[in-house]
Amino acid sequence: MSLMSHAVQHYRKLPAPTTRSIRTERDLPVPMRDGTRLLADRWAPRRGPEGLPTALVRTPYEHRGLHDRTIARPLAERGFQVISVAMRAGAGGAADPLRKEYEDGLDVIAWIIAQPWFGGSLVPAGPNHLGGAQWAVAADAPPQVKAMVPAAASMAADVLPDFSVPASLVGGWYDAFLPGQVRDFAALQAAGRHPRLTIGPWAHDDTARAAVAETLDFALPLALGRIPAERAAVRLYVMGEEAWRDFDSWPPQGYKEKRVLLGADGSLSVKHREGTVGFRYDPDDPTPTLGGHGIDRAGKADNIWLEARPDVLTFTTDVLTRDFEVVGHVNAAIRFRSTRPTANVFVRLCDVDPLGRSWNVCDGLTRVTEATEAQTVPVDLWPTAYRFATGHRIRVQVSSGDVPDRHGRGADLDAADQEVHCGGDHPSTITLPIRPAA
């Protein structure tokens, strides 16, 4: 096993390889129905049984280099043969690129099934757009497709009625694509399917790592005609507790929605503390991204310097006298007005530890139009699972920027004075799915 292969095993927390000797066939032509030929690479053990399950990786990215080392080779070393296909750039200029992606996916699968080395079972694999490529063919997948592990991708609504492939969805609490993952899981459960869901304390890249491991844990046994190791339908990493927990559904049962009020005095409580607080948003010095759910700068970070900016409002509870868990969907309703017709409302939930450090838990942004009129702005924050410990405090940030990660549609070229109204008949609130920790 090469040094790179060993490093990938360690970083991705993969089981030991079953072989270290892999052969690669390059640039196999794969015909499409419109006459286009895509190029594929095949990875397989040099020695060993014929007819291993096939993992199909369709990617719009460079299908060699990094993808070879982090997806194709790790799977080929652990029980799969792997076909890595470069998808056509821009869907070949097609007027309907999603349709072309769907057709190409089915054509690639048909080509694989017709090959003499195909052993009868196929698993679409890979995160990000690769996960989207899995969903593109899911509804019409032939019976040779035994399982799929989509990560960082969302299912189209028209897939659900005809979807029957066993699926294990993988997401990260700080991954940009998490809302789609949990929405897909809930839809599949509601439709009577039996998917499973794993969400870890990961940003985007670590979610991709976890998807490869789950392909081995969940999809490979099914491709071999076996049953994966038994576990609950939902496995969540509860941050703050720093432990994995199992649940039967998403969102988990047993958590009650609690509406908490933002107070004009900076408090966060069940009491009405009426008044208006404000800040000035300046596009020449925009409120910057710090941690969160982006692709490149995501994750957990100490927000204390961000909260010291004059364009960030904070609302904080008293010190907690017991542990509380927040698990599920978090929503805010901010009574807002701006001197500009369009504006962003950014809301972030934080955990303030006894040292005063403010750690971001989840956040969301809503673009507001007709913002010069006072209105209650709904903001959907990312789902989360977090334990707020005794001695900590819960904090909510309100601002108008998350630049450059999320800036709404269009650019705000002029400074604006923003107002947040608290208390009274139209309070600003955050709703938490919460319960005291056991």
Q: Give the model confidence (pLDDT) of 108-145 as tens digits.
A: 999 999 999 999 999 998 765 444 556 767 778 899 99
- How many angstroms separate the CA atoms of 407 and 295, rounded? 14
| 294 band by pLDDT with thresholds 50, 70 and 90 | confident
Q: In terms of domains, do 241 and 265 share one?
A: no
CB 147 within 8 A of CB 121: no
Last residue of a domain, one of 197, 225, 247: 247
Burial class (CB in 10 A: 0-12, 13-18, 19+), 13: exposed
| 419 band by pLDDT with thresholds 50, 70 and 90 | very high
Per-residue pLDDT at 61: 58
Q: What is the CATH classification number for the domain harbouring 346?
A: 2.60.120.260
317 versus 104: the higher-pLDDT residue is 317
Q: In terms of domains, do 240 and 264 share one?
A: no
Q: What is the CATH classification number for the domain harbouring 27?
A: 3.40.50.1820
From 1-15, 267-281, 299-313, 314-328, the region with the lowest mean pLDDT: 1-15
From 56-65, 90-99, 330-339, 426-435, the region with the lowest mean pLDDT: 90-99
Count of domains in the chain?
Answer: 2
Per-residue pLDDT at 249: 95
Q: In terms of domains, do 226 and 260 share one?
A: no
CB 123 within 8 A of CB 145: yes
Phi-psi sector, 368: left (phi>0), alpha (psi -120 to 50), beta: beta
Q: In terms of domains, do 284 and 175 share one?
A: no
Q: In terms of domains, do 137 and 243 share one?
A: yes
Q: In terms of domains, do 208 and 89 share one?
A: yes
Burial 62-71 (b: 16+ CB within 10 A, else e): ebeeebbebb
Per-residue pLDDT at 95: 38
Q: In terms of domains, do 331 and 214 share one?
A: no
Per-residue pLDDT at 404: 87
Last residue of a domain, one of 216, 247, 278: 247
Q: Is the pLDDT of residue 425 over 50?
A: yes
Q: Is the pLDDT of residue 438 over 90?
A: no
Q: In terms of domains, do 241 and 337 share one?
A: no
Query: Domain limits at 339?
Result: 256-436
With a pLDDT cut of 70, the percent of the chain lying above it is 87
Mean pLDDT rounded to a whole number for the chain? 89
Q: In terms of domains, do 12 and 67 share one?
A: yes
345 versus 7: the higher-pLDDT residue is 345
Q: In terms of domains, do 304 and 240 share one?
A: no
Q: Is the pLDDT of residue 312 over 60?
A: yes
3-state helix, strand, coil in the chain (%, to 5): 20, 35, 40
Q: In terms of domains, do 128 and 264 share one?
A: no
Last residue of a domain, one of 247, 281, 304: 247
- How many angstroms separate the CA atoms of 140 and 99, rounded? 13
- How many angstroms separate the CA atoms of 149 and 125, rounded? 6
- How many angstroms separate the CA atoms of 403 and 405, rounded? 5
| 374 band by pLDDT with thresholds 50, 70 and 90 | very high
Q: In terms of domains, do 138 and 42 share one?
A: yes
From 25-39, 138-152, 278-292, 320-334, the region with the lowest mean pLDDT: 138-152
From 44-48, 191-195, 294-298, the region with the lowest mean pLDDT: 294-298
| 64 band by pLDDT with thresholds 50, 70 and 90 | low
